Amino acid sequence: MANRYTFTTKLEGFIQLHEPGKYNTYGFSFTIPAKDLEKIAADRIELIDWIKSKESKRLPDGLPKWDDAGTMKYSWGEGDGTRKPIPPVVFVDCDGVPLSKDVLKSIRAGTKVNLILQQKPYAMGSFSTSIRVLGAQVIELVTAEGASDSGSLEPEEVAAMFSKVDGFKQGDPQVRDEREPAVAASGGYDF
């Protein structure tokens, strides 16, 4: 038994997508929108009740994978031989084209994405659920240089998750400068 969710959010915090970092892992953070968080939390309770009905073990209930604000840190890796490797998150552009390593390297906090999550119950040490990010579609790319690219996407135009939509396209970037304007240095500050 598993539930899937799709929603639009922005990537946050430290983002490592192009190559494994420390501990041989990749990762990023995101905040689950409030209306989706409510549904995921309610489903979590149902999934835990379901797994409890199937197990004869007496285990405590585990904590959710997100904080009170709905922020979730997600990581995956190739494993270190002692644990099972976690499948990678597939990142695509608005046409469904997988992103190159160079684009993955440039992705920074603020990048707008559609995510697909899957929540499944488990009973190992506690009754809880696991959440796996199955895929990410970049709608508006924010890079390390302060540029962003959202193509001609309007939020109302997103008809279906992970279908072809207008927006960031790896092969046809439409870059603009998003950095904060510098403080005018002509004559210093006016107090």
Name the token pair of 168: 């960031």
Maximum average pLDDT range among 10-24, 35-49, 167-181: 35-49
Please give the model's pTM, rounded to 2 decimal places.
0.70
How far are the Cα atoms of 99, 123, 127, 157, 186 from residue 58, in angstroms, in the given order? 45, 10, 9, 49, 71
Query: What 3-state DSSP class applies to 106?
Result: helix
CA 132 to CA 140: how far, in whole Å?
22
pLDDT of residue 4: 92
CA 102 to CA 99: how far, in whole Å?
8
Helix%, strand%, coil% for the chain, nearest 5: 15, 35, 45
Name the token pair of 129: 């659920």
pLDDT of residue 179: 57
Contact (Cβ atoms closer than 8 angstroms) between residue 3 and residue 43: yes
| Least confident window among 1-5, 42-46, 49-53, 79-83 | 79-83
Query: Residue 16: is its pLDDT beyond 80?
Result: yes
pLDDT per residue over 141-165, tens digit each? 888 666 665 554 333 333 344 556 6
List the domain boundaries for the chain. Answer: 3-177
Mean pLDDT in residue range 81-106: 80
Query: What 3-state DSSP class applies to 47?
Result: helix
Angle ∠(137,170,158) on CA atoms, nearest 5:
40
Angle ∠(165,168,173) on CA atoms, nearest 5:
135
The pLDDT-based confidence of 45 (bands split at 50, 70, 90) is very high
Name the token pair of 15: 């983002």
> CATH number of the domain at 3-177, please?
2.40.50
Mean pLDDT in residue range 84-92: 76
pLDDT per residue over 55-83, tens digit each? 777 788 887 888 888 898 888 776 655 55
